[in-house]
Homo-oligomer: A and B are copies of this chain.
Amino acid sequence: MTSLSPSRPTAKIPGPSVARLATYLTALRDRAAHGVTVISSAELAKAAGVNPLILRKDLSYVGGHGVRGVGYQVHKLIATVSMALHSDSAQVVALAGVGALGRALLAHTGRDPRFTLGALFDDDPGLVGARMSPDGPVIAPLRDIGGTAADGEPFDIGVIATRDDLAQEVCDAFAAAGVQQILNVTPVTLVPAEGLSIRQIDLALELQLLSFAAAGNR
């Protein structure tokens, strides 16, 4: 289990580090926009809400190239981190379920160059055939998930924002269409098809966890 695949030159980066690296990237871009060219681990750590030690450790996974006694060159670091996170090429996203949460997601990622919207699916007769934006895709019924992927470009990421009782079959449809990454924003626990990686966001769960934390503070 220690085979070194030549196609993956970098050693495996721990999951928590990957998540933090993405937040560093956001902070770095913000600083770059403010004209900052050099930043110390202490400053960047503060902006990202972590301690400087873990920041330097994280950066060491991607080959930080900081200058001792000085800090990091912002532009260089942005290039290094975004390369490591593969956030250089835009991902094609397909969204199933154009309800409140689906729209919120569109609003959040609409202008984000990292993602392009490949397709929209919904079974609401009032929505099928419509567009959410003038240059966006036409909303297709859920049963078209397979077909749409079959002709054009395949989707990189499938987002499941449907009614709860449709979540599992939509997940299976995405998997059958060759989608390998799923973002599930329903509270349903999905049983994943082979090779599928799933992330889940459950708003009610987050509130529940906060209320537990609240009780502990009493």
Contact = CB atoms under 8 A, between A and B. Distances in A.
Interface stretch (A51-59, A105-113, A122-130): A105-113
How many identical chains are in the complex? 2
Contacts of A7: 218
A87 B211 contact: yes
A148 to B, nearest CB: 19
Interface stretch (A19-27, A68-76, A139-147): A19-27
Interface in A1-60: 7-8, 18-19, 22-23, 26-27, 47-49
Contact of A104 (B157, B191, B203, B211): B203
Q: Which size bracket describes the interface of A in this complex?
A: 35 or more
B210 A183 contact: yes
A187 B8 contact: no
Given A7-B218, A26-B187, A205-B23, A157 B108 contact: no
A86 B212 contact: yes
23 contacts: A7-B218, A22-B209, A49-B189, A49-B190, A86-B215, A87-B208, A91-B210, A91-B211, A100-B100, A100-B103, A103-B104, A108-B203, A109-B204, A112-B204, A114-B207, A114-B208, A115-B207, A156-B211, A159-B207, A180-B214, A181-B211, A199-B209, A201-B201
Interface of A: 7-8, 18-19, 22-23, 26-27, 47-49, 85-87, 91, 93, 99-101, 103-109, 112, 114-115, 156-157, 159, 180-183, 187, 189-191, 195, 197, 199, 201, 203-218
